[in-house]
Structures are given as structure tokens and as C-alpha cells.
């Protein structure tokens, strides 16, 4: 937090931010700056203002107000400095490199990465940097993404799956891939990330805007109060000097939270970035703190997602070899990981199939609506593989019969947590492909923690109910939706939102994009598709869906920190009232001395003590604003009681002690 370079730069920025054009964005501190300018003019030209106060008092008030401004600016500059430091390291990754672009004639042309446009195709081979954001359209390769994610282990990227997107600035470690560029210069993932962590595009959240409105309203009210005080003073025969009135105003308005509010918001974004999560807005981070329901995609989220062909299971009078043969025919042109794993299993078992026939046929790609894929052969036969219920309906439409042992074999695979795919040729079902997937370790414990935070977890999967139930039980989710389509995910999100709940959704595939856009907090995996990342308002660079726990905790921490410091700020104003108001009136109204419960030395020392405390409390609270209030899962009532005790009662006690100590020091100095 207090890195030497960041602190030095923050100190410089504290003076730069004194520019009224910058200060006017914070109405509370802008009022303090106007007060500083007025007291400075009175100090320099006391006769012009008819000031009868000792010059040293005017000088002291001016300096204290000046440092109050610097401390508030320092808090904001320090928070921004941490973001800029992260951006600087990212900018080192963003270099102008050469790219091998495939032109309209199919020839390779070497161009600068800055010349690439959306829709261009480039070839990147082992040892080369990926010149821009894109999707792999041909090939498979391992990619070093440590420059973006900090993770040293290379990740596997391949065409045709949900792990096809690549980020500019990363490096191909092995093999060769063909990439279709998906962003224009200045609009890449890295460009947006740099702009966001720098704070250049940080927008205030709705809660922050609402709180700013309340604080500004309080400031206007106290301005009116202070403007009317001289009239009451004249009635009582007291001349209230302008520096005293300005000191009273600064102590009355909520300068503590006003000076720290911006820093709290920036620090919240920074904490999310430190967890390798890119938040597209502060609103998303804040909304995460109020999440009630989390929708999780099973494949690649709860499970590893690398469903591989494990076994061929014949049904009816068919043989394992025949199932393998037709499974291979349906998968010959299938570039998905599952399709390739079928061919690998056929090769391992040394089954034979007519590859030429399979490649000459018309490939039918998998669709979420049909939930099957296959090939239409030139001899008129149609081969399909896909979800068992989809294949059953398709075979029935062809006039075929369903083998009696199909359901039992399918249920056996599902009970073991596997995914059964049926293989059919025309009106005949030959058997099943057993796809095996594994639940990620530690998922049950993570979901248990979410439950303790009052968050419900719902798993969505295209698997049949038996498989879904097995995975849901093993992972420990609260509810599951089996055989779900993209529209089902949107429906469950809308259902929860209709009940007044905030919903988070994680996903990585193109079919997850609509649901990610509908959710209040949509978190896309960095390993996922471009469509998913564009639809989401957060991107997890580590592609770890259980990181939702940290994101929710940071969101709650942001809300709690803002609430705690607002409570503390308003509470400590009470002590300042007892210090400064009696000091201003007890000469003319001796009875006011009854309110001087701190027994402060003199009116001058009381005003200065309150003003000094008002200034120094801002830098003392900077560490809390940056780190945030610790969040522990507990009920809202307990959380409120705890914070009122610590920051409400503490906010009253601390100023009484602090102002008294400062007054004692000032008393010695005056003597």
C-alpha cells in the first residue's frame, strides 16, 4: 500500500488535484477549498476584511484547511496510484509486434499488430506473440498467459470449443494456430483492462451517487446554518469572525467520508483486480455484495469440462465395434474436444471405419436446440450422435424402434456421473458413448461457504436428470436444472430477479452469453469465448468459477467499508459539535459552558483542536479505506449491530479523546 514510488507520486498528485476543476467533482472538499482560499486572503489582507482575530489564529486555520485538502487528495491519489502501477506493468505487455496476416489471396503478409482490424486472420506459431484478441479457427496450441493472469502454467487452446479465445500479448508455447482477430486497435481486452485499472473509466456506483447526494445535501444545510449564525451573533452582541465560521462549517460538514469516498470506490476495484478479476464497472463489484443467487454452468465450471470418450456401450444386437465405427464416422469432421476424444478411443481400440466416406459427407454441427451432431453421407444415410432423448426423438421420426436396454444402459452411465451420448444411423440406435467428466476438488467446501453467506447455488447442465443429480450431490449445490437450454438459464435468472433477488452467473461458452448479459453480475471465464466475455460485466483471468466467493466478499467489503466510514464520520461530528459550538458562544452566553464537557482550555484552542482532529483523521483512516473492513459471514442484524458498536460508538468516543489531547498540546504551545 505504501510503496515508496506510489507514495511520492501520490504526494505530487495531492497538489495537482488542488485545481478547482478537479476539486469541484467532490462538492464537500470543494467547499473546504473555498474556505481555505477565503482564510488565506484574510491572513494576507486582514485590514481589507476588518479581521480583529489574532493573526496566528488565521494562519493556523489556513494551514489546517490546506492540509485537510491535501490529506483528502492524498487518499484518492494513493488509491489511483496502485491502479496506475498495475496498468504500467500491463502496458509493458502491450507491444507493437509483427503479425503474419493471411490476405484475401491466401498469401501470408507480415504487418504490424497495430494495423490489424476486426475480421483479419493471422497465423501464430511456436515462440511467437499473439498480436491481438481473437478466436482460434484452426489448430490447437498451448499458450503462455502469465503476462495477463500471472499464472505460469501454459493453458491449452483449441478451435471449435469453449476454450478457443486468445488474448493479445500472450505467447504460443507449442504448435501452430490460425486466429481470427475480434477487436480493433484500442478496443482490445488489454486496452480495456489498462483503462479500468488506471481508474480512467471508473464510474460512480448507484450507492456511491446516492451517498454523495446525501452528503451534498448535508453540506448545503450546514452552509445555510453557518450563513445565518452571524445574524444570531449580532442579536446576542457577539461578533463571529469569518475564520471561526469557516472552521465551524468544515467541522460540521462530513469532511471525513467526503475525503475518503472516492478512495473507497477505487480501492474496491483494485481489490477485485488483485484477485485477477477484471470488473467492467464499479456497479458490478457493488452488486456482487448483495448477491442472493448464483447460477453455475456445470461443464468447465463445476467439473473440469474435458469430457472424454471413455467407453463404447452397444445396445440391442449391436457390437462394441459397430458402435465405435459409427461414432467415428459421426466425429470425423467434429472439431470439438468430445469429437476428437471419440476418434482417439477408436484408435486405441483399433476399430476400423471408412474415413473417406465420413469426410465426404455433409457435417451437421452441434446445436443447443437439437443437442446432437453428425454427418449426412453421400449414399443418403444419416449418422447422428447426441443426447439420448434427442436421438430417441430423431429415430422415432425416422420410423425406427428404440432398443429395450437403451434406457437402463443410459441410466447406469448417468448414475456414475458420466454423460451418455447415443449413436444412431437412420432408424437404428447402435449404442452409447460414455463421456467421463470430473468434479473439481474443493467444490463442496466452496459451496458450503457460499451457503453460510446466505447465497443459493443453482447448477445448470444439458445432462439428463440422473447425471445432473449425481454431479449436484457430489459438488454440494443447492439446486440443479437438467437438460437446460440457453433460454432455460435466462428463465431461471428472471424468475429469481422477479422475487427481488440479485443473481450472479458464471459461464464460458457462447451459449452462456445471453444469461451472462441478463444476470446482475455476469462473470465470464478468460478461457471462454469472446461472446461470453463481451456479454459479462466481469472477466475472471484465472478461469476459476469458485472465485465468486472472493468477488462476493469484496463486494460486501466495499459496501461495509463505505457504510462503516460514513457511520464513523457522522458519529465523530457529534464530538466536534461539543467542542466548537460552546467555544464560539460561551463568552456571551456563560451557560453554554455546560456543554463544554471536555473542559477545553479556551475558545481558540477548542476550535483549532476540532479542526486539527478533523484534518488528521483522514490520513489515519486511509489504511482502512484501502484494505476495507473485514467481512465475516453472519446475519445482517449481527453485522449491523457489530458495525454500529465499532464505528458508531467508536466514532463518538475517539474524537472526544483526540480533541482533548490536541487541546492539551495547544494549551502548552499557547503558554
Annotated binding site for Mg(2+): 508, 512
Q: What contacts 120, CB < 8 A, 6 or more positions away?
A: 101, 102, 180, 181
What burial class does residue 258 get, using C-beta atoms within 10 Å of its C-beta: 0-12 exposed, 13-18 middle, 19+ buried? buried
Q: Which of 120, 162, 297, 540 is catalytic?
A: 297
The whole-angstrom separation of Cα 288 and Cα 285 is 5
- Give the residue ranges of the annotated binding site for ATP: 334, 338, 366-373, 385
Buried b (16+ CB within 10 A) or exposed e, 265-301: bbbbbbbbbeebbbbbbbbbbbbbbebbbbbbbbbbb
* Residue ranges with strand state E in 392-494: 419-425, 428-436, 456-460, 479-481
Buried b (16+ CB within 10 A) or exposed e, 382-397: bbbbbbbebbbebbee
One-letter-per-residue 3-state SS of 77-120: HHHHHHHHHHHHHHHHHCCCCEEEEECCCCCEEEEEHHHCCCCC
Residue closest to 551 by CA, chosen among 297, 280, 223:
280
Residue closest to 266 by CA, chosen among 83, 65, 19, 533:
83
CB 345 within 8 A of CB 331: no
Alpha helices in 349-384 (DSSP H): 355-360
- Give the residue ranges of the annotated binding site: 334, 338, 366-373, 385, 508, 512
The whole-angstrom separation of Cα 418 and Cα 457 is 21
Q: Compute and round to an integer the Cα radius of gyration of the chain.
A: 33
What nine digits make up the cell of 175? 504448435
Does 297 participate in catalysis according to the annotation? yes
Kindly state the helix (H) or strand (E) to which residue 286 belongs, with its residue range: helix 282-288
Determine phi and psi for 218, rounding to 5 degrees: -60, -40
Helix (H, G, I), strand (E, B) or coil at 618: helix
Active-site positions read: 297
Amino acid at each position: 500500500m505504501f510503496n515508496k514510488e506510489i507514495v511520492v507520486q501520490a504526494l505530487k498528485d495531492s497538489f495537482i488535484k488542488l485545481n478547482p476543476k478537479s476539486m469541484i467533482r467532490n462538492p464537500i472538499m470543494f467547499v473546504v477549498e473555498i474556505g481555505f482560499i477565503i482564510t488565506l486572503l484574510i491572513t494576507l489582507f486582514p485590514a481589507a476584511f476588518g479581521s480583529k482575530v489574532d493573526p496566528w489564529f488565521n494562519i493556523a486555520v489556513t494551514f489546517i484547511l490546506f492540509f485537510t485538502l491535501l490529506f483528502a487528495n492524498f487518499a484518492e491519489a494513493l488509491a489511483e496510484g496502485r491502479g496506475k502501477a498495475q496498468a504500467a506493468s500491463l502496458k509493458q505487455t502491450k507491444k507493437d509486434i509483427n503479425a503474419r496476416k493471411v490476405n484475401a489471396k491466401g498469401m501470408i503478409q507480415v504487418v504490424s499488430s497495430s494495423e490489424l482490424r476486426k475480421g483479419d486472420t493471422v497465423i501464430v506459431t511456436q515462440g511467437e506473440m499473439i498480436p491481438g484478441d481473437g478466436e482460434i479457427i484452426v489448430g490447437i496450441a498451448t499458450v503462455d498467459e502469465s503476462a495477463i493472469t500471472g499464472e505460469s502454467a501454459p493453458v491449452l487452446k483449441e478451435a471449435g470449443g469453449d476454450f478457443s479465445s486468445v488474448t493479445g500479448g500472450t505467447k504460443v508455447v507449442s504448435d501452430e494456430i490460425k486466429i481470427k482477430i475480434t477487436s480493433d486497435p484500442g478496443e482490445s481486452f488489454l486496452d480495456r483492462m489498462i483503462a479500468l485499472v488506471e481508474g480512467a473509466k471508473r464510474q460512480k456506483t448507484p450507492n456511491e451517487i446516492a451517498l454523495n447526494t446525501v452528503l451534498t445535501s448535508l453540506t448545503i444545510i450546514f452552509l445555510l446554518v453557518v450563513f445565518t449564525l452571524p445574524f444570531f451573533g449580532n442579536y446576542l452582541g457577539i461578533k463571529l469572525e469569518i475564520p471561526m465560521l469557516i472552521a465551524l462549517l468544515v467541522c460540521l460538514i462530513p469532511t471525513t467520508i467526503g475525503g475518503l469516498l472516492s478512495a473507497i470506490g477505487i480501492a474496491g476495484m483494485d481489490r477485485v483486480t488483485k484477485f485477477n478479476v477484471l470488473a467492467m464497472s464499479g456497479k458490478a463489484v457493488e452488486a456482487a455484495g448483495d448477491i442472493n443467487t448464483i447460477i453455475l454452468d456445470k461443464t468447465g465450471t463445476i467439473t473440469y469440462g474435458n469430457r472424454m470418450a471413455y467407453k463404447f456401450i452397444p445396445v440391442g444386437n449391436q457390437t462394441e465395434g459397430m458402435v465405435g465405427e459409427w461414432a467415428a464416422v459421426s466425429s470425423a469432421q467434429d472439431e470439438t474436444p468430445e469429437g476428437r476424444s471419440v476418434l482417439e478411443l477408436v484408435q486405441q481400440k483399433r476399430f476400423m471405419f471408412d474415413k473417406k466416406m465420413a469426410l465426404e459427407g455433409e457435417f451437421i454441427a452441434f446445436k443447443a436446440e437439437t443437442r446432437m451432431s453428425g454427418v449426412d453421407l453421400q449414399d443418403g444415410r444419416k449418422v447422428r450422435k447426441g443426447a439420448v432423448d434427442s436421438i430417441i426423438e430423431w429415430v422415432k421420426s425416422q420410423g425406427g424402434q428404440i432398443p429395450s436396454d437403451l434406457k437402463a444402459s443410459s441410466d447406469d452411465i448417468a448414475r456414475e456421473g458420466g454423460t451418455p451420448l447415443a449413436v444412431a444411423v437412420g432408424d437404428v440406435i447402435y449404442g452409447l458413448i460414455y463421456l467421463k467428466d470430473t468434479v473439481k476438488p474443493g467444490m463442496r467446501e466452496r459451496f458450503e461457504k457460499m451457503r453460510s453467506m446466505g447465497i443459493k447455488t443453482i447448477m445448470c447442465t444439458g445432462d439428463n436428470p440422473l447425471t445432473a443429480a449425481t454431479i449436484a450431490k457430489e459438488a454440494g449445490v443447492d439446486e440443479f436444472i437438467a437438460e437446460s437450454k440457453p433460454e432455460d438459464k435466462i428463465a431461471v435468472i428472471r424468475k429469481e430477479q422477479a422475487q427481488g433477488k440479485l443473481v450472479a452467473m458464471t459461464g464460458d461458452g457462447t451459449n452462456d452469453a445471453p444469461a451472462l448479459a441478463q444476470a446482475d453480475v455476469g462473470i465470464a471465464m478468460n478461457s471462454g469465448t469472446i461472446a461470453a466475455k463481451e456479454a459479462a460485466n466481469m472477466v475472471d483471468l484465472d478461469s476459476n468459477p469458485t472465485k465468486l466467493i472472493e468477488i462476493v466478499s469484496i463486494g460486501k467489503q466495499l459496501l461495509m467499508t463505505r457504510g462503516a466510514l460514513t457511520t464513523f464520520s457522522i458519529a465523530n461530528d457529534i464530538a466536534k459539535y461539543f467542542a466548537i459550538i460552546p467555544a464560539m458562544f460561551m463568552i456571551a452566553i456563560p451557560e453554554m459552558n455546560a456543554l463544554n464537557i471536555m473542559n477545553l482550555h479556551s475558545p481558540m484552542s477548542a476550535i483549532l483542536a476540532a479542526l486539527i482532529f478533523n484534518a488528521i483523521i483522514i490520513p489515519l483512516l486511509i489504511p482502512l479505506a484501502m484494505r476495507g473492513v473485514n467481512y465475516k459471514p453472519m446475519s445482517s442484524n449481527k453485522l449491523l449491530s457489530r458495525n454500529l458498536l465499532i464505528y458508531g460508538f467508536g466514532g463518538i468516543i475517539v474524537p472526544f479523546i483526540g480533541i482533548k489531547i490536541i487541546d492539551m498540546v495547544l494549551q502548552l504551545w499557547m503558554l
